[in-house]
Structure formats: C-alpha cells, structure tokens
Chains A and B, each alone.
Chain A
Amino acid sequence: MSPRTGTILISAALFALTLGCAGIVFFPYYWMIVSSLEAASLFEWPPRLVPSNVTMDAYVKIFTERDVFTWFKNTAFVASATSIFCTLVAINGGYALSRFRTGGTTAFSIFILFSQLLPATLIVVPLYVIFRQTGLYNSLIGLAIADAAFVLPLATWLMKGFFDRIPVEVEEQAMVDGCTRVGAFYRIVLPLALPGLVVVVAMSFITGWDEFFLARTLISSQSNWVFSVGLTSFETQYAIAWDEMMAAAVVFALPAVFFFLFVQRYLVSGLTSGAVKG
C-alpha cells in the first residue's frame, strides 16, 4: 500500500466517522420532522425513514386547537428577559471579578462556580417557597429571574475570562484620554468583549427558551405556560398525540435554530478564541 493510498483511506475513514456522528446527532431531529408529517409511522418496524403519506394536519391542529401562540409569546418573553437579566449581571460581575482584586475575589469567584454544580432539583423547593412569599410565583418575570440565576455563574465566569484577555492598558488609556472608568468600560472594553457577550446572550436566551423544570414548578396558570410546559399537554391520561407533539416541537425549535444561525459566526469565534490583540 503506497503512502498515498494510506492517506486516502484515512481521509475516507475520518469522513465516514464524521458522517456517522452527524447522523447520530441529526437523526432525532429528522425523526421529529418525519413524525410530525405522518403520525402512523412512529412505531412501525422496520421504521419508514421516508414518509409516504405526508400531511400537514398536525400543524393545522396545533395552531387551531392549542394555545401555541400564547406559549410562543410567553416563551419569547421569558427567554428575552432571562437573556437581559443574565447579560446585565454577568458583564458587570465578570468585569468586577476580572479587574478588582480585593481579599475575597478569588474565593468568591470559586464560590460562584461551585453554585453552578448544584442541581436544579435541590434548589427548586426553596425557590418555590421564596417565590410564593414574594409574589413571583406564577409570573413570567419570576421565571426569567430563576432561569437567569441558573445561567449566571457560568455566564459570569465566561465574561470574566473575556475581560481577563483584554489588556488593562487599553482601558487605562481610555481613562487618560478622557473617559471615566464606567465610560471606558462601555466605550472600549465591552465592544472588545463582544464575542463573549454574544455567547452569554445566546446561552441565557436558549436556557430561557427551552427550560422545563423550573417552568413546570414555578408557573401554575395555563395562560402563563411556556412552550416547554405546553408540549407536555399533548400527553393525556389515555393517549399521546405524537404527531401534534412533534409538530409543536418543530415549531418550538425553529426560532432557536434561526437564532443560532444568526449568532453562529460570533459564537464560534467567541467560544474558540475570544483573544483580543492589543
């Protein structure tokens, strides 16, 4: 076997592996779409990968018989609010951890990270009690605050990491050039941390968008349901409307997909490099 043949074989094997991985990742989505277009095929064996009787009935049904628009509106609100809360706190917190060194800074940073390790199930009961007492229970703002709280530790660390990479001289230069510290932060430092900012916005938005556990616990009235909670309503005591559930899932996923497509460019540069050359 010549070295050239070897190289070709290795490339082919790698390509096959990549294709296989992509298949594993994308199949559930494909299956979700197929199932939404043809209810009967879901439990057949062997599975029918290409639907034969394509129908949009399930889509028509969810828009006419279910409160999809309300779920949509509520979810969009919660996701946006989560994203705004989280970003505002994370950029300021991350900046403070990055730039101000006082006695407890390191300990506090680590404490924040540890709080990320606590599972939601551990906190949800106290959260429920607090929310009932403060009137945040069954409110979308309340849910957004709870969601934001769960993303914040990681988001704060991410921002801290981005701020750490921005040379402090650039900021000091801005202060000598006529900015206050706050001015230097917003005019010079924050634009340089844009990739990080996009990561935090995207991460918190998606968390607010698809979070289920807190939404199920902290929201009671149907008019405040978000999409993830709404999806469970397709499962009743006697039957599960799989085609409708899958159709709703497709509708639910689409905005998130478009959102990612839109921010993907920043996201990749944000997650991989984030480096700022002075």
Chain B
Amino acid sequence: MASVEFMEVAKSFGNVEAVTDINIAIDDGEFAVLVGPSGCGKSTLLRILAGLERATRGSIMVGGKVVDDLPPKDRDVAMVFQNYALYPQKTVAANMGFPLKMRGTDRKEIERRVQETAKILGLEDLLKRYPKQLSGGQRQRVAMGRAIIRNPSVFLFDEPLSNLDAKLRVRMRAEIKEIQQRLKTTTVYVTHDQVEAITMSDKIVVMRSGRVEQVGGPLDVFDRPANRFVAGFIGSPAMNFLDGKIISSGTGPEFVTESGLTCRLPEGCVRDLSQCASIGIRPEHIDLADEDVANAFNLRISVVEPTGADTMIIARSGTDELSALIKGRHAFDPGDSILLKPLPGMLHYFAQDGTAIHV
C-alpha cells in the first residue's frame, strides 16, 4: 500500500503535448478516478505511472519513493487494461498465477493463492478454461484476479468496464469498489464515464486537453465545479448553460439571456454582477412553475422523454434551450408552452472565461 504523487509531470509525443503540469496527490488507500473526454491524457498519465511511458518532465512518487527510472515490473503496481489483455495461450489459473510465477513464488503457494483469489471473484469453476472460452464479464474478473493476487501497492485500471454491457458494467462497478474497500489498496482508475467516476471515487481528477481542471471529492466536484467544463462534464443529464448578463432592476438582480429570456435571481447571488457571463442549472434542479412568476422561464416544449419515474423535457425559446428533469409523470406535448423555474440556491454562475464564480 502506498501513496501516489504526480509532480509537475508532462509528456509529449513529438510536438504534441499529451499532458502538461500535472500535480496530483493520491493518499494511501484512496480510490482516485481520472476522468475526462477521449484524448484528454488520462490514459497517458496512467501509463506513465505504470512505467509503460516515460514522462518528458516531472516526477512520480509511489510510497514516497521516486519511481521514474524503475521498469514496470519493479514498481509494484498491478494494471487492468481496457481489453483485459489476458494471455490467450494460458488458462485462467495460469493467467492469475503469472505475476506470482514471475516473482519466483513456489508452485504450492501460487496454487493456494489462485484458489483463494478465484473464490473472492467467483471464478473457482473456470480455472481450467482459456480466455476465449469466457464471457466478457468473466474475462474482466480474471483480469481483476491477476491484479489483486499479488497484493500490489497500487491498482491501475484503464477503462476496465467500457467493453461490458450496461447492466454488467453497473454490477462490476460495485464489485470493483467492494474489493478495493476490502483490500484498501491505493487505486488509480481511468474512465471517460462520469457516472463511474462519481459513484466509485474518493477523489476525482477531471482532465481536459492534457491538463487537470479540478481535483476534489466526487460531490465537491458536482456541487462546486471549478469551471463550465467541469460543470458540463460531471452530472447526467448534463448541466444547462444560458449565456447572457445580470442586470439590476428595481426588484433585484435579473438574468437576461441573449435571446431575451429573463429570470429573477436571489439577492447577493454574485458579488460583482458584471462579471457573470453565463449561468448553469442542472436539469434535476428545475421545477414547474405554476404561474408566470418573475423567477421562471417561459419556454416552448420541443421534446418530451418519459423515463418512467420522471419526465425529461427539452424546451426552447429562441436560441436558448433548457432540459429539465421533472419528478413524476406529466402529460405534455411538443409545442405546448411551459413555465420552468430553477430551484433557489441551485444556480451556478460563470465568468466570461468559464471559471465559476462562487458566492
């Protein structure tokens, strides 16, 4: 078990900077998730940590020791790849036992630990099979088994669930989290799926274009996003953004969008009204307004998506569009006009450059 620290890490491939100025500290036993859209450099960071790539600048510490010059095998990290990377010519048992074999563990001990690990993962009956005889979920488990069997300092997961179907993904998500909590091994997990990131992590690192946008606890990042990118990326369905400006009217501050929508804002919402260039509202923080109150938007419905428990409504006015997740079932039709109001205190304010303005 060990802490992990990225210090000023940068990596370029030719002229392309894949990651720059990365500073992340992950505590011992913590479950850290690197999340961001494809190509943001999260996998590159993981590969640098594993020793499969060399950082162009900066340093990485595992357990307080600089590991920059160590080959992957000497870093005491275990990795699970997106395509599982099982050895096709080896049985499940041989796959799981391989890291131990490479460390010179004796055969009896390997057998014992393979059995023990197989039991944890429910693979006892599959030990003699070959990877091609397994389903996706089973392969995933074998890859997990191969990682946990040698009790490494750090687990590295590179989008391990993205090849599974939606249902299995949810189950494996819980299983990985459970195993990590039981073993208390420091984990660095890469995903582009923000739901995975929020549900699994103790710490989220949101990345974009090779840079870290925000590091924090999952709810922190959700509740207090550092900028418009993080706000839009974290949370599903995604946050609505309205561009415009705040003006002060006689009755208090009011947000006016470019296409003329207006909405009354609570007093003291932003210290400097002129700074605010857009507001963000999460779809689940929008409710129906009964009458044309001053803090509601008057919109026309363009799409109604009943989800069963809730109703998702996409409504427009000019170039402005809002999606709202309304509790319960509602009989709306496209073309109807609708009054939507943001829940008080749930608005996010952003400056021109996209950084969040916290009150």
Question: Residue among A169, A170, A176 with the most chain B CB within 10 A?
Answer: A176
Q: When the two chains form the complex, which single residue of A177, A178, A183, A191 contacts B89, counting CB atoms closer than 8 Å?
A: A191
Given contacts A191-B89, A277-B88, contact A178 B103 (CB under 8 A): yes
A276 at interface by CB-CB < 8 Å:
yes
> Which parts of A11-50 form the interface with B (CB within 8 Å)?
none
In addition to A172-B81, A177-B99, 11 A-B residue pairs with Cβ atoms within 8 Å of each other are A167-B83, A169-B82, A169-B83, A172-B52, A172-B72, A173-B79, A175-B72, A176-B50, A177-B73, A178-B98, A278-B88
A220 at interface by CB-CB < 8 Å:
no
Who on chain B is nearest to A166 by CB? B88
Q: Which residues of A contact B75 (CB under 8 A)?
A: 176
A: number of interface residues (CB 8 Å): 19
Q: Which residues of A contact B131 (CB under 8 A)?
A: 278
Contact A178 B85 (CB under 8 A): no
Contact B87 A174 (CB under 8 A): yes
Smallest CB-CB A-B distances: 5 pairs: A178-B102, A169-B85, A173-B85, A177-B99, A175-B72
Write the residues of chain A forming the contact surface with B, with a CB cutoff of 8 angstroms: 167, 169-170, 172-180, 183, 188, 191-192, 276-278
Q: Which residues of B contact A278 (CB under 8 A)?
A: 83-86, 88, 131
Given contacts A176-B72, A177-B99, A277-B132, contact A192 B79 (CB under 8 A): no
B266 at interface by CB-CB < 8 Å:
no
Write the residues of chain B forming the contact surface with A, with a CB cutoff of 8 angstroms: 50-52, 71-73, 75, 77-79, 81-89, 98-99, 102-103, 131-132, 146, 156
Contact B83 A276 (CB under 8 A): no
Contact B79 A179 (CB under 8 A): no
> How far does the Cβ of A184 sit from chain B's closest Cβ, in whole Å?
9
Who on chain B is nearest to A178 by CB? B102
Contact B87 A176 (CB under 8 A): no
> How far does the Cβ of A137 sit from chain B's closest Cβ, in whole Å?
44
Contact A172 B102 (CB under 8 A): no
Contact B77 A176 (CB under 8 A): yes
Q: When the two chains form the complex, which single residue of B88, B102, B132 contacts A177, counting CB atoms closer than 8 Å?
A: B102
In angstroms, Cα B146 to Cα A173, docked, is: 10
Q: Which residues of B contact A188 (CB under 8 A)?
A: 87
Contact A175 B52 (CB under 8 A): yes
Q: When the two chains form the complex, which single residue of B73, B81, B99, B146 contacts A169, counting CB atoms closer than 8 Å?
A: B81
Contact A175 B132 (CB under 8 A): no
Given contacts A167-B83, A169-B83, contact A178 B88 (CB under 8 A): no
Contact A179 B102 (CB under 8 A): yes
> How far does the Cβ of B120 sit from chain A's closest Cβ, in whole Å?
19
Contact B132 A172 (CB under 8 A): no
In angstroms, Cα B310 to Cα A108, docked, is: 62
In angstroms, Cα B149 to Cα A253, docked, is: 53
Given contacts A167-B83, A169-B83, contact A176 B88 (CB under 8 A): no
> How far does the Cβ of B102 sit from chain A's closest Cβ, in whole Å?
3
Given contacts A173-B79, A174-B87, A276-B88, contact A180 B98 (CB under 8 A): no
Q: Which residues of A contact B81 (CB under 8 A)?
A: 169, 172-173
Q: Which residues of B contact A169 (CB under 8 A)?
A: 81-83, 85
> How far does the Cβ of B109 sit from chain A's closest Cβ, in whole Å?
15
In angstroms, Cα B88 to Cα A276, docked, is: 8
Who on chain A is nearest to B53 by CB? A172
